[in-house]
Amino acid sequence: MQQSTYTSPLDKLNDEALLEQFRQGNTLAFEELYKRFWGVLYLQAYHILIHEEDAQDIVQEVFTALWTKAANINLSGSLAAYLYATTRNRVLNMLASKRTYRHHLSSLKQSLSDIDNNSLQYITEKEITARMEREIRALPAKMREVFELSRKTALTHREIAHQLQLSQETVKKQISNAIRTLRHKMAHFSFFC
């Protein structure tokens, strides 16, 4: 049984002649170029990208560009050299694009992380400060007055005692009690935060 091997007259044409045939409207010439070059261009792209779908996409883009721009292609060498160079350039562009994307993604993640951490720190500091102010306001009146004078002014214990007409010992004791009370209250608050 003899096997039928039909050969198209286009099989005998060189690459540049096929391109010229395609430029003149012969879509079969394009199909012949596709059959000749798809495999080798795919291997070239895959060898660099090591990713089947990306390599297929690149080759598809090369042939799409050939289809749409065939009339404007001026070959300084062979069509094969042109297709190889086009494939290589598209591969390099894809790699650069992915590298840039990863760089931007990494920068964005870092920025968001910094913003989140700074915001969290700001919110936490703000919450702690607000809670501390509430706890100070909740202290008994005389204790609060002594504590606030000791923390918010540059007065010494002696000056506070003189201003409030208290003994220095009473001022020390009030400040010590206020600190102990606030430390206890804030420990509970930080535990729940």
Q: What is the pLDDT of residues 93-148, one digit of tens each?
A: 888 877 765 765 666 566 556 655 655 555 566 777 777 788 888 889 998 888 88
Boundary residue ending a domain (76, 103, 130): 103
Q: What is the CATH number of the domain that holds 44?
A: 1.10.1740.10
Looking at the structure of the chain, the number of domains it has is 2
Local structure of 73: helix, strand or coil: coil
C-alpha radius of gyration, the chain, whole number: 40
Taking the C-alpha atoms of residue 83 and residue 70, their distance in angstroms, rounded to an integer, is 12
Residue 51: φ, ψ to 5°: -150, 115
Question: Which has more confidence, 152 or 13?
Answer: 13
Local structure of 155: helix, strand or coil: coil
> Is 119 within the bounds of a domain?
no
> Is residue 185 pLDDT above 70, yes or no?
yes
Exposed, middle or buried: residue 20 (CB in 10 Å: 0-12, 13-18, 19+)? middle
Q: 99 and 146 share a domain? A: no
> Is 109 within the bounds of a domain?
no
pTM of the model: 0.52
- Tell me if 143 sits within 8 A of 178, measured CB to CB: yes
For residue 167, the enclosing domain spans: 138-192
